Structure 1
Amino acid sequence: MTALSTNNARAERSNKERIPVFDGIRGLSASLVIVAHVAFATIVLSSAAGPPREGFWSIIAAGNDLAIGPFFVMSGLFLYRPFVRYTMAGDKYPHLGKFFARRAARLLPAVWLLAAVSLVALNWSSIQGFWYVVRPFLLMQVYDYTYYAGMDVAWTVPTEAQFYLALPLLAWIGHLFAKGADTPRKKARRMIAPLLALIPIQLAWVAYVHIAFDPWPPQYFYPLGMTGVLTIGMAFAVWNVLAELSPQDTPRSFGFARRHPNLLWAGLLVVFAINCLKPFATPGTADWVSAEAAVTHSILFLLFSYLVMLPLVVPGAASKLMKVVLANPVSRYLGRISYGLYLWHFPVMYVVFGSGSLFEETYLPVQTLLGKFGFWELFVLTFLGTLAVASVSYWLVERPIVNWVQRKTATRKRVDDNFIPPSQPALTSV
């Protein structure tokens, strides 16, 4: 039995049995997202404004736009794994009612709170009827495209929600491919096959959006632009179950990760450096790029996400360095409130800038307020403010609702097959 436990009943009760490095990577990724967005509000400008405002630091900051990838990888890994266990190990099929209830409890309360606060505090003067108010609560602001100040990053929430809806269908397709195979290895290969198609779909969609549309169209935010990185997480789920059921068939990448975990992270630094150079684009800027540049960035995004997560997914592979960076109390706490850190930093930034209905009749996009703050001043104010708001959101809204839904959907323990040694924590997606 691996650290990524297979026991569904224990997983339902595993809120206190979190894997430290996964919490840490959530916290680090959310913090880096804040760094990136503060940079794009201060020192990373369009090339029409001239050379990078802060030279080398602007180039580094502009390259820091890959950090969201681990969140999607973890979604694919955690949520697909029970379905993989059903196909490969004969476990009970996941209860879809409970699955959707728990996903809704984790995803919706925080973003609904964000929508309510953003509408009142930042967009009140822009309200134009009932649909304007309801649209963000239905996660429709991307499709019936409407910009809401403070919900700048919430475009990823519809992507997550639609992945939840599509996952049972994707799992059914994988099961159809694999059900005739007679060994875990063959089943794993057949389950991976349909997943591989999702990676070129991401690249093709990115190219299409940058060829067919004017800069920053609504289609840029559609879920097809994230299918590949979700696929990486789903492939990790398949490989992890294979390694558990048939250790001799462990993927070579897993063996390499155990032997050389730090080398993988060295590789991601190379990918990050290449991304900073912005192939086919201008380093240190925030331009709408060509299709060649966009596809190249998408490939780097996939590679970065894979290299970050591989040594964390393989049981026992995380190095001492990774544990120091990710498993310390600060990183773990930031990981617990990472969803709030991700959602709330833009509203906090608008408040710091004094832009929105609380301060004037209409909001001004943060990009129009460049020069009012320097990078570090805005970052400190934004991060500390977001830390406070995200903590309140987590402890008073998110965690109580998740706990309540989990209690209501808990499955009674069966002593014969639900025991997990205390040294083997359950895999949890919350």
Structure 2
Amino acid sequence: MTTTVAETGIAARPVVRRRNRERLLALDGLRGVAAFVVVLHHLMLIALPVSGPSGEPVPFTGWWWLERTPLKLLTAGREAVVVFFVLSGLVVVLPALKRVDFSWPGLIASRFVRLFLPAWAAIAFASLLLVVVPRVPQQVTGGSWLARQVPHDWTWPTLVGQWSLMIGGVPQNNVLWTLRWELAFSLVLPAFVVLAALLGRWWLPTGVLALGLAVAGTVGGIDALGYLPIFFLGTLIAVRLLSLERWSETRSARRVLAVVLPISAVVLVLEFLLAPVVPQGTDAAHAVRGIELLGAVGIVVCAAGATRFRTVLEGPVPQFLGRISFSLYLVHLPILATLAFLLGDWNWPVVGAIGVPLALLSGWGFYRLVEKPLHRVARRAKKNAARLVEDAVRAGRR
């Protein structure tokens, strides 16, 4: 997504299978690219009120190219989050499918440590920036996204309430809303795995049903129905992953995937491409937004299959972004917002020139100092939780 996904082709030679690996490097790379897209998305939100059009962009202007063509892939932040959710549904499930003795309590304990502890550190980081660098409301356009969604002051009760990550939004770092759905998925994951395993043979109608539920949830404003099927589709891919890899290595599959990838990229941003004829905010636009999930699934399938797209995602830049993706996601918004309040949102090019490299550097530092050490804590939590549950079960049988 740092380049237009539609421009990526399919390899003419087979790619070595990785069926014995629980971790596909290409999926890490895709996650990293998606995280960088979210960074650019928030930069564009800062720029929009001062340099964007007041209504529909005039054809062939800069904003028209960015908002009404496949170049929207570069800044499609919400759509990048949909890709995150599909990826979570896939990669979190893989260890459970490969190990008979897999511990679900251990998974939940591990996920809590890996999700919530870095998030709490990110809230502390954002709050520190808010205290150290005073935010003057007059520095940003009134009524803009920055003025409405990013706080310029704080109170202890508000800060303490936000640490639950479950009560309303998280103004200090409002990208953290996604974590409540990541945790919800962890809690229902055993049921998702059973359903996907039972229905995996009928993957097409099952996938269509899940897509339909997601569309219904998006149109009806039912968040659980709109988001949880996204994770389930990732779980369905995980159950069918070996078959997908075998199929993707055939010559006919490479031709099919060469078409699937650009179509999926277009479908992923369909709401923006159709905005001139399907006004945003309408039920029809919400339905189109739900259908965009199909594009996210197609992109993940192409990344998991034996394609050149996978090879590109295994390159050094996507892999670096993938390594720091969660940390980058956690710290970038407070940095961009702080610079926008400090320099004024009318100086958004300077905010971007300073903020994007600084976010990357801070993401790397946060990964090294916070996230990576917590990986070890998460592994210990996983083992301890599994052992505690096992001991309790044995004690109950005596």
TM range (shorter): 0.7 to 0.9
1:237-248 matches, within 5 Å, as 237-241=238-242
C-alpha change, 1:297 and 1:172, in structure 2 (3 Å) is: closer
Aligned to 2:184: 162
Match of 1:23 among 16, 20, 28: 28
* Whole-Å separation in 1 of the counterparts to 2:243 and 2:315: 30
CA displacement at 1:172 relative to structure 2: 4.2
Q: Does 1:332 align with 2:328?
A: no
1:88-99 matches, within 5 Å, as 91-99=99-107
TM-score (norm 2): 0.73
Tell me if the contact between 1:258 and 1:318 (Cα under 8 Å) persists in the aligned partners: yes
Q: Does 1:294 align with 2:286?
A: yes
* Whole-Å separation in 2 of the counterparts to 1:42 and 1:115: 24
Match of 2:274 among 278, 293, 312: 278
Aligned to 1:75: 88
Tell me if the contact between 1:52 and 1:59 (Cα under 8 Å) persists in the aligned partners: yes
Tell me if the contact between 2:268 and 2:295 (Cα under 8 Å) persists in the aligned partners: yes
1:133-144 matches, within 5 Å, as 133-141=159-167
CA displacement at 1:112 relative to structure 2: 0.7
Q: Helix, strand or coil for the counterpart of 1:107? A: helix
CA displacement at 1:116 relative to structure 2: 1.6
1:30-45 matches, within 5 Å, as 30-43=35-48
* Per-residue CA distance 1:88-136 (angstroms, 9 max, x = gap): xxx514201221122123212221111122234326843152xx22322
* Whole-Å separation in 1 of the counterparts to 2:254 and 2:164: 43
Paired amino acid for 2:301: L
Aligned alpha-carbon RMSD (Å) = 3.5
CA displacement at 1:203 relative to structure 2: 0.9
Match of 2:66 among 57, 61, 68: 61
Match of 1:303 among 294, 300, 315: 294
* Whole-Å separation in 2 of the counterparts to 1:279 and 1:109: 39
* Per-residue CA distance 1:35-92 (angstroms, 9 max, x = gap): 122112213789992443896432343434222232111111122234445xxxxx51
Tell me if the contact between 2:109 and 2:378 (Cα under 8 Å) persists in the aligned partners: yes
* Whole-Å separation in 2 of the counterparts to 1:277 and 1:193: 27
CA displacement at 1:254 relative to structure 2: 8.4
Paired amino acid for 2:171: Y
Give the % identical residues: 23
Q: Helix, strand or coil for the counterpart of 1:42? A: helix
CA displacement at 1:371 relative to structure 2: 2.6
* Whole-Å separation in 1 of the counterparts to 2:94 and 2:243: 11
TM-score (norm 1): 0.68
* Whole-Å separation in 1 of the counterparts to 2:63 and 2:244: 43
CA displacement at 1:338 relative to structure 2: 0.5
Structure 1, 97-106 or 390-399: larger mean CA deviation: 97-106
* Whole-Å separation in 2 of the counterparts to 1:44 and 1:254: 49
Q: Helix, strand or coil for the counterpart of 2:48? A: coil
Aligned to 1:351: 338
Match of 2:154 among 119, 122, 126: 126
Tell me if the contact between 1:75 and 1:233 (Cα under 8 Å) persists in the aligned partners: yes
Tell me if the contact between 2:30 and 2:303 (Cα under 8 Å) persists in the aligned partners: no
Structure 1, 57-66 or 377-386: larger mean CA deviation: 57-66
Tell me if the contact between 1:280 and 1:290 (Cα under 8 Å) persists in the aligned partners: no
C-alpha change, 1:353 and 1:382, in structure 2 (3 Å) is: same
Tell me if the contact between 1:28 and 1:331 (Cα under 8 Å) persists in the aligned partners: yes
Number of residue pairs the alignment of both structures matches: 341
Q: Does 1:3 align with 2:3?
A: no
Q: Helix, strand or coil for the counterpart of 1:154? A: helix
Match of 1:371 among 342, 346, 362: 346
Bigger fraction of residues in helix: 2
CA displacement at 1:241 relative to structure 2: 4.5
Aligned to 1:406: 379
* Per-residue CA distance 1:164-184 (angstroms, 9 max, x = gap): 111123334556xx3xxxxxx
Q: Helix, strand or coil for the counterpart of 2:363? A: helix
Paired amino acid for 1:73: V
Aligned to 2:113: 105
Aligned to 1:228: 229
Which has the higher relative contact order, 1 or 2, with Cα contacts under 8 A spaced 6 or more apart?
1
* Whole-Å separation in 1 of the counterparts to 2:46 and 2:277: 19
Aligned to 2:260: 264
Match of 2:360 among 381, 387, 402: 387
Q: Helix, strand or coil for the counterpart of 2:171? A: coil
* Whole-Å separation in 1 of the counterparts to 2:242 and 2:17: 9
Tell me if the contact between 1:28 and 1:334 (Cα under 8 Å) persists in the aligned partners: yes
C-alpha change, 1:289 and 1:35, in structure 2 (3 Å) is: same
Tell me if the contact between 2:46 and 2:340 (Cα under 8 Å) persists in the aligned partners: no
CA displacement at 1:397 relative to structure 2: 0.8
Paired amino acid for 1:207: V
